[in-house]
């Protein structure tokens, strides 16, 4: 690993850009060599997005890691930004945490090594692309991107940069999923024939209140919309914030609106389909065919994302994957038995014979790394190691979900070429996987 330090004539950011272009300083530089004030084994990270997932899952986890320092929080909601800062300052016993409402200013913070992106799906690609152009490592919430072309651009940029990019799903780190994958990948179920995956339906009832409302003083709504179409503000379009504490209230409405998110088909699919692809050896490819049906809210509803679906995928190796709204679980069926891992629900592990869970793996068997999602990311930043879910895997699983959505919207069975990444029998259906961008946020400007 290269141990070059920036010459006195260059500041850290200019030197890093030069190193990225010339390859002079990289295999991949560990963060201890990049942060100006960082101790030798610590990653300086900024949180972009301080909502429900950004605080309760991501920020609190990073605050508990000794080799991480949260140095900044950014959110277009000033109340949420202030609340996140209070958590950081309380954890470290000081008031040094920087705050921003514009993520672009966050990316220019001196000594920064990495960002955790926990914003709406429609922002992920542009923010991640800009971060990598600044030489920053990226941990990004799933769904990785809102549209197909964003994911392809992001995966290509991550590979070219040599920086760490990790899709932030904890599913591969779940003990039930690890046990299931270890047994299935090593032949203890025989030849795999079928996967069955369930994901939960959205918890909020109704279809949202579309009546326009005044924009709250604490919210930069123009920046919140960003590349998405210009729409009138209503709380159910965005999110609800506790006006006294700045904490989130409930699940945000944007997760049910197609301008910003494809809904549970991608949101939870990014978790469970990823594990199926790991077992099937298709993390960097995909299925050959998909067909299915789904149900949308009534026309005119504010919330327009899928509320129910059932999809059927076929892979080149003959394996079938059935995917539907249910409870969250992964079932793997082989010609010698089956295992079902239930996640965030009752039941734990089930199998054709529970004795299979007493199986001792052979020393030669493949094993899923027993690391948490955040540990996986930080170790990769510090050591230059690979992550469990890289940008290519994140793009491929998200594409698989978007392809299913396109099959439902077009009402056709779609044939997919995972090499060219094109729909081969009904190419017009690809329009359901692409989006438009509002100025000045055209995706092409950031690739």
pLDDT at 7: 40
| Residue 10 resides in a domain | no
Q: Kindly state the percentage of the chain with pLDDT values over 70.
A: 91
| Residue 167 resides in a domain | no
| Residue 55 resides in a domain | no
Residues 336-373 as b/e (b if ≥16 CB within 10 A, e otherwise) read: ebbbbbbbeeeeebebeeeebeeeeeeeeeeebeebeb
Residues 124, 167 contacting (CB under 8 angstroms): no
The residues pairing with 139 across neighbouring beta strands, listed in sequence order, are 116, 166
Please give the mean pLDDT across all residues of the chain: 91
| Residue 162 resides in a domain | no
| Residue 396 resides in a domain | yes
Mention every residue, 6+ apart, whose C-beta is less than 8 A from residue 240.
248, 249, 250, 252
Q: Which helix (H) or strand (E) holds 249?
A: strand 248-249
| Residue 308 resides in a domain | yes
Six token digits for residue 360: 């001792």
Write the pLDDT tens digit of every residue in 125-182: 999 999 999 999 999 999 999 999 999 999 999 999 999 999 999 999 999 999 999 9
Residues 46, 70 contacting (CB under 8 angstroms): yes
pLDDT at 85: 98
| Residue 62 resides in a domain | no
Helices 269-280/175-185 angle, 10° precision? 20
Six token digits for residue 136: 């920053």
| Residue 107 resides in a domain | no
pLDDT at 203: 75
Write the pLDDT tens digit of every residue in 87-118: 999 999 999 999 999 999 999 999 999 999 99
Q: Give the dihedral of Cα atoms 339, 341, 346, 352; nearest 10 deg.
A: 0
SS3 label, residue 186 = coil
CA 10 to chain centre: 34
Rg (CA), the chain: 22
Residues 311, 290 contacting (CB under 8 angstroms): yes
From 416, 139, 89, 138, select the one nearest 285 (Cα to Cα): 416
pTM, 2 dp? 0.90
From 235, 408, 186, select the one nearest 306 (Cα to Cα): 408
From 168, 166, 126, 176, select the one nearest 146 (Cα to Cα): 126
pLDDT at 401: 98
Residues 398, 144 contacting (CB under 8 angstroms): yes
CA 213 to chain centre: 31
Residues 197, 323 contacting (CB under 8 angstroms): yes
What total of structural domains would you count in the chain?
1
Residues 290, 416 contacting (CB under 8 angstroms): yes
Write the pLDDT tens digit of every residue in 16-60: 444 444 333 333 344 444 544 444 589 999 999 999 999 999 999
From 184, 169, 142, select the one nearest 331 (Cα to Cα): 184
From 3, 91, 132, 28, select the one nearest 391 (Cα to Cα): 132
φ, ψ of residue 358 to 5 degrees: the values are: -90, 0
Domain containing residue 279: 175-203+262-364+392-446
Q: How large is the greatest C-alpha to C-alpha distance in the chain, in angstroms?
A: 67
* Residue 232 burial (C-beta neighbours within 10 Å; 0-12, 13-18, 19+): exposed
Write the CATH number for 353. 3.30.360.10
From 445, 435, 440, 351, select the one nearest 149 (Cα to Cα): 435
SS3 label, residue 327 = coil
SS3 label, residue 303 = coil
Write the pLDDT tens digit of every residue in 310-341: 999 999 999 999 999 999 999 999 999 999 99
Six token digits for residue 65: 């890691």
What is the spatial distance between Cα 279 and Cα 274, in angstroms, rounded to a whole number?
9
What is the arithmetic mean of pLDDT over 222-242?
97
pLDDT at 40: 56
């Amino acid at each position: 690993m290269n141990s070059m330090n920036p010459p006195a004539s260059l500041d850290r950011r200019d030197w890093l850009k030069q190193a990225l272009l010339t390859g002079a300083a990289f295999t991949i530089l560990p963060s201890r060599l990049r942060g100006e004030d960082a101790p030798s084994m610590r990653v300086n990270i900024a949180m972009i997005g301080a909502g429900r997932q950004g605080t309760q899952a991501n920020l609190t986890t990073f605050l508990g890691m000794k080799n991480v320092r949260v140095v900044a929080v950014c959110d277009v909601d000033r109340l949420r930004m202030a609340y996140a800062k209070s958590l950081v300052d309380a954890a470290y016993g000081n008031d040094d945490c920087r705050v921003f409402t514009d993520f672009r200013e966050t990316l220019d913070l001196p000594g920064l090594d990495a960002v955790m992106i926990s914003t709406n799906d429609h922002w992920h690609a542009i923010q991640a692309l800009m971060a990598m152009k600044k030489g920053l490592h990226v941990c990004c919430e799933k769904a990785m991107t809102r549209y197909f072309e964003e994911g392809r651009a992001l995966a290509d940029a991550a590979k070219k940069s040599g920086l760490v990019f990790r899709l932030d799903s904890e599913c591969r780190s779940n003990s039930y999923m690890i046990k299931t994958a270890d047994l299935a990948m090593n032949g203890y179920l025989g030849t795999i024939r079928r996967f069955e995956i369930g994901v939960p339906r959205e918890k909020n009832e109704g279809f949202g209140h579309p009546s326009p409302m005044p924009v709250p003083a604490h919210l930069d709504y123009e920046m919140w919309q960003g590349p998405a179409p210009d729409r009138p503000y209503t709380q159910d379009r965005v999110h609800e914030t506790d006006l006294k504490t700045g904490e989130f209230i409930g699940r945000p409405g944007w997760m049910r609106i197609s301008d910003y998110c494809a809904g549970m088909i991608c949101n939870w699919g990014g978790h469970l389909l990823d594990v199926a692809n790991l077992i099937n050896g298709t993390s960097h490819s995909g299925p050959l065919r998909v067909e299915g049906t789904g149900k949308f809210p009534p026309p005119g509803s504010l919330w327009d994302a899928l509320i129910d679906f059932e999809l059927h995928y076929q892979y080149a190796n003959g394996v079938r994957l059935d995917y539907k709204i249910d409870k969250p679980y992964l079932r793997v069926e082989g010609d010698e038995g089956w295992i079902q891992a239930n996640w965030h629900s009752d039941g734990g592990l089930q199998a054709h014979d529970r004795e299979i869970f007493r199986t001792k793996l052979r020393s030669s068997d493949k094993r899923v790394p027993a690391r948490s999602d955040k540990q996986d990311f930080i170790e990769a930043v510090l050591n230059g190691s690979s992550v469990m879910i890289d940008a290519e895997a994140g793009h491929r699983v998200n594409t698989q979900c978007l392809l299913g959505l396109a099959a439902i919207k077009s009402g056709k069975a779609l044939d997919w070429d995972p090499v060219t990444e094109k729909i081969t029998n009904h190419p017009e259906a690809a329009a359901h996987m692409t989006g438009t961008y509002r100025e000045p946020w055209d995706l092409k400007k950031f690739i």
